[in-house]
Amino acid sequence: MNILSDYINQDYKPLDVQESVAAVQDFFVEVPFSHFPVLEEGVFVGNLSSEDVETFDFDKKISDYKYTLEGFFTKNNAIWLDVLEVFAHNQSNILPVLDENNSYLGYYEIDDIIRFFNETPFLKEPGNILIIEKNTNEYSFSQISQIIEGNDGRLLGLFISDITNETVQITIKIAVGGMNEIIQTFRRYEYEIISEHQEDSYLKILQERSDYLDKYLNI
């Protein structure tokens, strides 16, 4: 079983506030990171942006630009969804990891977190993807689970993939169970089916009626 903290990386030492801008500029030329963690007397103080460094005077130190450091990080016991959220919110491909005492442990790289995600049952296990939509104030995760399990389906995971003030879209991965029965039950509970499925008898009936109408009009 993969543990997220196993992906903590220490290949590159964190930057120190006393390092010269020239040295840091050279560092970012060699590595593909958007940011990199900075320590002051062994304590994490923030992340230096590779784009910001390009505008600094090369003969100064990081400490002269301490006000530009970005303070995002994660804890070593954070779940992977929270980690992904921090990555996305800060538009970074690297994320410092601190322990419960706020001591610096290393960093996550976004590619490693995506690799971890690929090993989760949501992606790894075979199943069907179903996307449904309903009014924002009317959907219920417990109802969604009951609909799937009530039709002998097994829920591998679900998440909100789009949301507005009016509607919410939910992406679901389902193992086993009759997809047509699940889809029709969702419709009875007034969920709109966004994804297309060969097993969907409702769409087959509509297509048959459309074909019949075309033939009738062409007589």
CATH number at 152 reads 3.30.70.260
pTM for this prediction = 0.69
The pLDDT of residue 2: 66
Cα 201 from Cα 29, distance rounded (Å): 57
Q: Which of 15, 16, 40, 18 is nearest to 28 (CA)?
A: 15
State the first-to-last Cα distance of the chain, in angstroms, to the nearest integer: 64
Q: How many residues does the chain have?
A: 219
Range of the domain at 91: 4-117
Residue type, 210: S
Mean pLDDT by 10 residues, the chain (219 residues): 86 97 96 97 96 95 97 93 90 96 96 85 83 94 94 90 93 86 93 80 49 49
**Residue 215: inside a domain, yes or no?**
no
**Which residues have CB under 8 Å from 63's CB, separation 6+?**
17, 18, 40
**Residue 214: inside a domain, yes or no?**
no
**Residue 56: inside a domain, yes or no?**
yes
Task: Give the β-pairing of 74-75 and 94-98.
Answer: parallel
